[in-house]
Structure 1
Amino acid sequence: MDKTKMSYFKDEDILHIFISDGKEADSIELSPNITAELNESGELIGIEILEASSFLRDSILESSQAKILKLRKPV
């Protein structure tokens, strides 16, 4: 696979990130609602994020707030 691809399933609120081609042979739960998909060699081929809209919103807010706090200098 030349480029990473993503699919979003709106009704289920699931984001699937395809990192490389291959058949899923195993998976590992990285954290609640985030699963790494592995091929037979144990290489990462995809990531599935459940409740994706909440995850992305929270991740963006956290990183934005951290960046803003670092940019602001105490008076």
Structure 2
Amino acid sequence: MNKTRLAYFEEDDVLHLVVSDDEEAGSVEVSPNITTELNNRGELIGIEILGASTFIRDSVLESVHAKILDLAKAKTA
């Protein structure tokens, strides 16, 4: 049975999410520094994020900022 696993390689600042133990047959860069790994059927088996600490920090800050703006708008409405 496949189990989702997450590995962070601090020295290289790479986050790797494995969603399947299938062998990788190819990959697609979906945006700068984010690559999806695919099996021979074209199904997602993993995601690799380069510069992971910056990516995650920026994503979390963006989400928090949006939530704060929503709350501020709700207070003034």
When the two structures are superposed, what TM-score results if normalisation uses the length of structure 2?
A: 0.91
Q: Distance in 2 between matches of 1:74 and 1:51?
A: 38
Residue 74 of structure 1, CA deviation: 2.7
When the two structures are superposed, what TM-score results if normalisation uses the length of structure 1?
A: 0.94
For structure 1, the 5+ residue unaligned runs are none
- Superposition pairs of residues 40-51 of structure 1, within 5 angstroms: 40-51=40-51
Letter in 1 for 2:39: N
SS state at 1:40 partner: coil
Paired residue total: 74
Q: Distance in 2 between matches of 1:74 and 1:30?
A: 38
**Residue in 2 aligned with 1:52?**
52
Amino-acid identity (%) = 61
Q: Does 1:74 align with 2:76?
A: yes
For structure 2, the 5+ residue unaligned runs are none
Higher helix share: 2
Q: Show structure 1 runs of 4+ deviating over 3 A.
A: none
